[in-house]
Structure 1
Amino acid sequence: MRGRQGADGVTVARIGPNAILQAVAVLDRAMGRAVRERVMARAAVPMPSGAEMIPETDAAAMHLALRREVPAQANDLLWQAGQATGEYILRHRIPHMAQRVIHLLPSPIAARVLATAIAKHAWTFAGSGSFSVQPGRPLVFLIRDNPLRDPDGHPCLWHAAVFQHLFRALVWTEAVVTEVECQAQGAALCRFELRPHA
């Protein structure tokens, strides 16, 4: 977990700004700036600059505000935002040479390499939550105390979309990630299963 001490001396857990920025971009394209401004006003959080990590509570508030402001479209919008975040990671966070190497590996090994890389940078999307990987078939990602879990009980589609986009780009073009247990729905943690195809 990455954090920064606030004015009151309490360490504030932080998360990557793309948890908000990519959702904003998706909202602007799909529904227009006016809807995006309503969502941000409802969330009552500032627009991230993109230059630094943000409080995880800001990202959670924005995702919740999106769900409550446009409930009929929220699942699709958050999925698109997760895909866009995955694409940002590919363009800016995983070196092209590393991507080429992963492409050349046998897919089971490539999947393990990518999963290990994701785990090493888990603080960017899991914040104060605890992230782990269970190798095997299916490959499993676990987030305990997921800071972006939805208090209204909706599944964690943003995370699933991030993982799926990365694995489709680098390992299996038809990879599918499904959240099979969700802390927002009463489970002990969020459990995501990755399969090479549907």
Structure 2
Amino acid sequence: MLHRFAQFLAGCTVLLVLAGSLVTSTQSGLAVPDWPTTYGWSMFTFPPSKWVGGILYEHGHRLIASTVGFLTIVLAVWLWLRDPRRWMKRLGIVALGAVIAQGLLGGLTVLFFLPAAISTAHAGLAEIFLCLTVAIALFTSPSWMTAGNVDEATLRRLSTTTTVLIYIQILIGATMRHTGAGLAIPDFP
């Protein structure tokens, strides 16, 4: 059951990242100019009749993020109480810390009017959080629990190198997107 819940959270996180990219792509980041409220309303009581234009994207992103945050609290507690592996308990706490930091970065992005550094950090942490939820879903799977031995040193080097290189590429892309640098070569590729 824990594994299925972790899979569900990872799927919701994919949806959250997609919603965040819609906010950026539609330039709706400041469609809701306040935080943590939505035009002075609690975000959970903001009337659906007012969800129009960019407000739909930004407010929807906030609601999905709140749901993912709540699910992450549940997952962290569940791992702490039920998973016998100490490192998994810690991974659950790391995921919880990441989602809290992500929410704060999202709020700061609005409060400081989309500064490139905070927007890039928000995008970068989103990818880290997604990786954390996918990793937890993998590590709670029955097949992970019964996997045979592998050459740990080689696997560790390969996975670390690959992860670092991919993450650098993500940060370069996020920096280009949030600083408008992609427009420097408008006909590329």
Tell me the TM-score range normalised by the shorter chain: under 0.3
Identify which of structures 1 and 2 has the higher relative contact order when contacts are C-alpha pairs closer than 8 Å and 6+ apart: 2
Higher helix fraction (1 or 2): 2
Higher strand fraction (1 or 2): 1
What is the TM-score with the length of structure 1 in the denominator? 0.23
What is the TM-score with the length of structure 2 in the denominator? 0.24
Larger Rg over CA atoms: 2
